[in-house]
Amino acid sequence: MNEHPINSTSRREFIKSSGRIAAATAIAGASIPHVHAAEDNTINVALIGCGGRGTGAAVNAMSVKRGPVKLVAMADIFQDRLDGSYSALKEHDVGNMVDVPQERKFLGFDAYKKAMDCLKPGDVAIFTTPLAFRWVHFTYAIKKGLNVFMEKPLTADGPTSRRMLELAEESEAKNLKVGVGLMSRHSRAFQELYKRIQDGEIGDLILLRGYRMQGPIGSAFSTKWPGEPSELLWQIRRFHSFIWASGGCFNDFYVHHVDSSCWMKNAWPVKAQALGGRHYKATPRGDVYVDQNFDSYSVEYTFPDGTKFIQEGRCMAGTHGIYSSYGHGSKGMAIMSSHGDCGLPSITYSSQSPEPSKKIWESDVPPDERNPYQNEWDDLIDAIRDDKPFNEAARGVKATAVSSMGRKAAHTGQEITFEEFLNSDEEYAPDVDKMTMDSSAPVESDAQGFYPTPEPGRKGNSEY
């Protein structure tokens, strides 16, 4: 996935050779002994999912202020992803902290276990696979007594959201530290803005707005499966195109604005209504798109007190780009993110428009704390070393479920409540924990190569 291009510190950007798409899950191999950290205080890490996301997260892990942190195992289902990630990490400034010999590189659907078996209780497992595998990996990490960093989004449907909430409770009961890659919560500017909003600097929040308008990115728009690799592996490669694997482009691209806006409001929406559509069925060359996404979305969320949050997204070439977020209060407004998901600066005003003469405050973050991707890892490792409460799993599930509620409202054309979404029995990849290289894909193309797509008003409460 292409993260905001103007943020050079984005973990999806810093290593071009690692690729732009998060790889799939992990991975089979022979059983090997734990890798222990001798007499020192090294925290060992296993990377499960070796695409661009995972490679960036591993660099952040090994760059924490309170090291040492060492990468000791890697897992993926694609050899090229694993090899590319390993090479990029070894060539990086943190390459001396990469200790992953061939016997600790695993390939296959079940080697997430082998990668985590290389760790001891209290070490960290990184989950940067498509979200469908998140609950499977989290279950094993809890069993092993491992701390976790898992990328957003976390779920795509009601059953897996409920499952992940139960796992979140179990991980908290075991005092495990769990970070979720909603890095805006670790933006020092956003943290200060949150305090100011809660203290009433712009009055009561009455409207929030988020925008991510850009050209097509990531793997959100796919043409027909070429016949190889298998349909399952091809869908995992192009996970943004399939709701079962990623929650679609809405979840993966817009969940940051959803999470940070709900944080500023200090509440979760109770319902959503939405619209969206597919404007172009073919590429400029005439190839037909077959993925499950809309290319534009507009979701109106309603909070318990009746106030609204509008999230708009568009993935269309040649259109006006907007990538920012705003909060309006009874006494003024805030530019939450000036660019990207949490790009500096955050600013408050005593008016409803950003008039320079009405500015109240503008964020001023020290250079060494301007990278929220690094901050979230520093905060996680601090919590591990100091044994402080730190578990973002439940909040990460709720943020993702709110995102999915908006996506489903657009795809069905129905107003959907949070409780209706959460209690739905529709699970998009019910046998993901049993997948092998020979498994069928959770959604299969028809004879013409097309996948079932959302048809608002025609399919009731089903997205496709």
Mean pLDDT of 171-189: 98
Length of the chain: 464
Domain ranges, ordered by start, for the chain: 16-184+375-391, 187-369+400-434
The per-residue pLDDT for 40 is 72
Long-range CB pairs of 295-299, under 8 A, 24+ apart, other chains included? 295/216, 295/221, 297/250, 297/254, 297/406, 297/407, 297/410, 298/274, 298/410, 299/272, 299/273, 299/274, 299/406, 299/407, 299/409, 299/410
What is the model's pLDDT at position 280?
84
Q: Coil, strand or helix: which one is 283?
A: coil
The C-alpha atoms of residue 22 and residue 434 are separated, in whole angstroms, by 21
Query: Phi first, then psi: what are they for 386, rounded to 5°?
Result: -95, 0
User: Would the pLDDT of 171 be above 80?
Assistant: yes
Give the integer Cα–Cα distance in Å for 461 and 464: 9
Q: Which helix (H) or strand (E) holds 330?
A: none
**pLDDT category, 9, cuts 50, 70, 90?**
very low
Q: Which pLDDT value is given to residue 220?
A: 96
Give residue-wise pLDDT tens across range 413-453.
999 999 999 999 999 999 999 999 999 999 999 999 999 99
pLDDT at 136: 98
For residue 151, pLDDT beyond 50 = yes
Cα(131)–Cα(114) distance, integer angstroms: 20
Q: What pLDDT sits at residue 61?
A: 98
pLDDT at 117 over 80: yes
Please give the CATH number for the structural domain made up of 16-184+375-391. Answer: 3.40.50.720
Predicted confidence (pLDDT) at residue 15 exceeds the cutoff of 80: no
Mean pLDDT of 235-241: 98
Mean pLDDT of 136-153: 98
The side-by-side arrangement of strands in the sheet containing 296-302 is 359-362, 347-349, 332-337, 322-329, 205-214, 308-315, 296-302, 271-277, 416-417
Mean pLDDT over 8-14 rounds to: 39
| Residue carrying the six token digits 């959100």 | 220
Residue 19 is predicted with a pLDDT of 39
Look at residue 379 in the predicted model and tell me its pLDDT. 98
Residues 6+ apart with CB under 8 A from 341: 3, 4, 183, 184, 256, 257, 260, 325
Residue 295 has pLDDT above 50, yes or no: yes
**Mean local confidence (pLDDT), 7-12:** 39
pLDDT at 28 (0 to 100) = 33
Return mean pLDDT, the chain. 92
Please tell me the predicted confidence (pLDDT) of residue 281: 81
Bond from prior residue into 430 cis (ω within 30 degrees of 0): no
> How confident is the model over 198-232, as pLDDT tens digits?
999 999 999 999 999 999 999 999 999 999 999 99
pLDDT over threshold 90, residue 34: no
pLDDT range class, residue 283, cuts 50, 70, 90: confident
- Residue-level pLDDT at 128: 98
CATH of 187-369+400-434, one of 3.20.20.70, 3.30.360.10, 3.30.300.30, 3.40.30.10: 3.30.360.10
| Helix %, strand %, coil % of the chain (to 5) | 35, 20, 45
**Residue 284: its pLDDT value, please?**
79
CA 183 to chain centre: 9
Under the banding of pLDDT at 50, 70 and 90, the label for residue 335 is very high
Tokens 């489903």, residue located: 408
Q: Which one has a higher pLDDT value, 280 or 385? A: 385
pLDDT for residue 3: 35
Token readout for 283 is 């590429």
| Percent residues over pLDDT 90 in the chain | 89
CB of 313 closer than 8 Å to CB of 341: no
Average pLDDT over residues 153-160: 98
Q: CA angle, corner 266, sides to 261 and 271, nearest 5?
A: 70
pLDDT in tens, 88-101: 999 999 999 999 99
Would you say residue 75 has pLDDT above 50?
yes
- Confidence bin at 13 (pLDDT 50/70/90): very low
What is the pLDDT at residue 16? Answer: 38
